[in-house]
Amino acid sequence: MTTDLTNLTVAGIRDGFRKGDFSAREVADAFNAAVAAGKPLNAFLVETPEHAIAAAEEADRGRASGELRPLSGVPMGIKDLFCTAGYQTTAASHILEGFVPTYESTITAKLFGAGVGMLGKLNLDQFAMGSSNETSAFGNVISPWRRSDGGNAPLAPGGSSGGSSSAVAARMAPAATGTDTGGSIRQPAAFTGISGIKPTYGRCSRWGVVAFASSLDQAGPMARDVRDCAILLETMSGFDPKDSTSLDLPVPQWEAGLSGDLRGKKVGIPKEYRVDGMPAEIEALWQQGIAWAKDAGAEIVEVSLPHTQYALPTYYIIAPAEASSNLARYDGVRYGQRDLPDGANLQDMYAATRAAGFGGEVKRRILIGTYVLSAGFYDAYYTKAQKVRALIARDFERAFEQCDVLLTPTAPSAAFALGEKSADPLAMYLNDVFTVPASLAGLPAMSVPAGLDKQGLPLGLQIIGKPLDEQGVLNAGLAIEERAGFTARADKWW
């Protein structure tokens, strides 16, 4: 057989398996072995080799009988925010430790229905709150990447989908599901040299995904390249009557529509994204991206998104407000952890359970959210934030009168070392400065790997599209990908 099946992309596995180059079982075995060998990265909270094998064996039987499904033979990692029937789902929080859902999230049901096997449940920032994976209750994920300075400092894989980014970058999974509330797919993808797309809000059902901030949460795929993102997003998207915010629209054939030819397209460069103190390397990468877009035939236009500076504060009011309410259900009464001190009454039980069950960052956001919604502060914070959110969405609407997609850096820096920013929440929040605006406006956006910084760490470029124009986003991403020729990968140290 081929040398190493774990080097294959989703498309490569799908097509090679169909051609008979290898069996699905061989693919599952190779990735299961990689998962087992990758423990030092702490990317998986639960390993499910039996699930991947069962799906692979079914794929192999299906190939023999001519009953192939769209993703037969493809294994994936699943972020542990997706409820999986029969498999522990924790959102990386002690408060859900031991919780085994009886139900399958719509997204995992669609993927499994398309033939995907699950390699395991992937670590994340607790309740998807974080940008480094350090808020996980089960230890942080470590990025497979290391700086070229020889210092071997363990680096953050990004967050909150850090288990997903680390697993894909380390070839433990050809792809993984992620979720993105303010950048949780795009920033970790950029940190680890992979691709990831957050579709238009409402494309992917939120049913069965542990909620962080309902008006922002969107699932999406994380994979090695743009084509794989297109393939997986096609399967993950679609109307779900169980989610009132789900879009009742047909799912386009994004893979078939892929084209890196940007002739006739206008790529907008938002001037407000040129923030103070942005590293020269990021600026240089951005200029490189502009050159690639031109090379692909696009016209470059400068656009303005005047309310960009208010996006982070707005996000850090709305997201915690929704989270403070969404997380009220973790009370120790019906499932998950319960802390019942001797002689405790109901209030004591709530307090003890939530004090012991939630991590520091989760508590911080619950407190912020409770504060901004409380009587006397609601209008000053929440109502105002909603108004600013509308202005930010209007900024994008106006910009898209002048261009088809926007091109920006994904994050203001390359991956930082673990522990480097964990003591300063504000510095950590600044990581989302480029990703949060598109989340507030519900727009499709993706990150593609575009180069390395001088320490040899990956950097990503972000493409933001019009509502429902995932195709435009994917195509611009493909144009960058084709020209960036990003082939770097982390040296295996684990």
Partner 1 sequence: MDWYLKVCEMTESSYRIQGATGEWEVVIGLEVHAQVTSNAKLFSGASTKFGAEPNANVSLVDAAMPGMLPVPNRECIRQAVRTGMAIDAQINKWSRFDRKNYFYADLPQGYQISQLYHPLVGEGTISIEPEDGETKIVGIERIHVEQDAGKLMHDQHPTRSYVDLNRSGVALMEIVSRPDMRSPAEAGAYLRKLRAILRYVGSCDGNMEEGSMRADVNVSVRKPGDPFGTRTETKNVNSVRFVMAAIEHEANRQVDVLESGGTIVQETRLFDPDKGVTRSMRSKEDAHDYRYFPDPDLLPLELDDAFLAECRASLPELPDAKRARYEGPLGLSTYAAGVLTADVETARWFEALMAATGKDDAATAKAASNWLISDLFGALNRLGKDITNSPVSPAQGAQLLGLVADSTLSGSLAKQVFEIMLETGDDPAKIVEERGLKQTTDTGAIDAVIADVLAANADKVAEYRGGKDKLFGFFVGQTMKAMAGKGNPGVVNERLKAALDG
Residue 346 is a binding residue for partner 1 (CB under 8 A): yes
User: What CA–CA distance (Å, rounded) separates 371 from 210?
Assistant: 23
Q: Between residues 280 and 375, which has the closer beta carbon with respect to partner 1?
A: 375
Kindly state the smallest distance separating residue 167's Cβ from partner 1, in Å. Answer: 22
Report which of 195, 123, 219 is spatially closest to residue 163, judged by C-alpha positions: 123
Rounded-to-integer distance, Cα 137 and Cα 275, Å: 33
Please count the residues of the chain: 494
Q: List the one residue out of 305, 275, 311, 272 whose CA is nearest residue 399.
A: 305
339 sits near partner 1 (criterion: CB under 8 A): no
The first and second tokens of residue 214, run together, are: 């309902």
In angstroms, rounded to a whole number, what is the distance separating the alpha carbons of residues 245 and 239?
Answer: 9
Q: Which of 168, 213, 298, 438 binds partner 1 (CB under 8 A)?
A: 213
Q: Is 138 in the site for partner 1 (CB under 8 A)?
A: no
Query: What is the distance between the alpha carbons of residues 126 and 422, in angstroms, rounded to a whole number?
Result: 14
Among 52, 71, 169, 211, binds partner 1 (CB under 8 A): 211
Selected binder of partner 1 within 284, 291, 333, 427 (CB under 8 A): 333
CA angle 23, 24, 29 (to 5 degrees): 100
- 2 vs 374, beta carbon nearer partner 1: 374
Per CB under 8 A, 324 contacts partner 1? yes
- Report the residue from 53, 58, 114, 215 that binds partner 1 according to the rule CB under 8 A: 215
Q: Counting contacts by CB under 8 A, is residue 280 touching partner 1?
A: no
Pick from 443, 436, 409, 449: nearest CA to 196: 449
Site for partner 1 contains 152 (CB under 8 A)? no
d(CA 2, CA 276): 49
One of 105, 132, 160, 439 is an active-site residue; which one?
Answer: 160
- For 22, counting Cβ atoms within 10 Å of its Cβ (0-12 exposed, 13-18 middle, 19+ buried), the class is middle
Nearer to partner 1, 105 or 308 (CB): 105
Q: What is the DSSP-derived secondary structure letter of residue 338?
A: -
Residue 74 tokens read as 């493809």
Tokens describing residue 422: 């964990």
- Kindly determine how many residues on this chain lie close enough to bind partner 1 according to the rule CB under 8 A: 44
CB closer to partner 1 out of 87 and 191: 87
**Residue of the chain from 329, 387, 454, 492 that contacts partner 1 (CB under 8 A):** 329
Told to judge if 324 belongs to the known catalytic residues of this protein, a careful annotator would answer no
Separation in Å, CA 116 to CA 2, 109, 255, 400:
21, 9, 17, 36
CB of 7 to partner 1, least distance (A): 34
Per rule CB under 8 A, is residue 161 in the interface with partner 1? no
Does residue 193 bind partner 1 (CB under 8 A)? Answer: no
Residue numbers 369-388 binding partner 1 by CB under 8 A: 370, 373-375, 378, 382
**Which residue in 23, 72, 79, 136 is the catalytic one?**
79
Minimum CB separation of residue 21 from partner 1 in Å reads 38
What distance in Å separates the CA atoms of residue 414 and residue 423, rounded to the nearest whole number? 18
Token pair for residue 85? Answer: 């029937």
Of 105, 143, 165, 184, catalytic: 184
Establish if 207 lies at the interface with partner 1 (CB under 8 A). Answer: yes
Q: State the nearest-atom distance from the C-beta of 97 to partner 1, in Å.
A: 13
Instruction: Give the DSSP letter of residue 310.
Output: G
Distance CA 474, CA 178 (A): 17
- For the question of residue 79 being annotated catalytic, the response is yes
Tell which one of 209, 282, 405, 418 touches partner 1 (CB under 8 A).
Answer: 209
Instruction: Write each residue from 48 to 87 as x if it is in contact with partner 1 (CB under 8 A), else as -, in one continuous string.
Output: ----------------------------------xx----
The stretch near partner 1 (CB under 8 A) out of 147-155, 202-210, 260-268, 356-364 is 202-210
- Among residues 79, 146, 198, 206, the one that binds partner 1 under rule CB under 8 A: 206
Distances (CA, A) of 109 to 206, 207, 336: 12, 11, 23
Which helix (DSSP H) or strand (DSSP E) does residue 191 occupy? helix 186-192
The two beta strands, 75-79 and 117-122, are parallel
Q: Which is nearer to partner 1, 245 or 455 (CB)?
A: 245
**Is 184 part of the annotated catalytic residue set?**
yes
Write each residue from 84 to 123 as x if it is in contact with partner 1 (CB under 8 A), else as -, in one continuous string: -----x-x----x--x-xxx-x------------------
For 105-147, the DSSP string reads -HHHHHHHHTTPEEEEEEP-SGGG--SSSTT-TT-----S---
Which residues inside 223-252 make contact with partner 1, applying CB under 8 A?
A: 241-245
Taking residue 55's Cβ as centre, other Cβ atoms within 10 Å add up to 27
Q: For residue 164, which amino acid is it? A: S
Residues within the interface to partner 1 (CB under 8 A): 82-83, 89, 91, 96, 99, 101-103, 105, 206-211, 213-215, 241-245, 321-322, 324-325, 327-329, 331, 333-335, 346-347, 350, 370, 373-375, 378, 382
Which of the residues are catalytic?
79, 160, 184
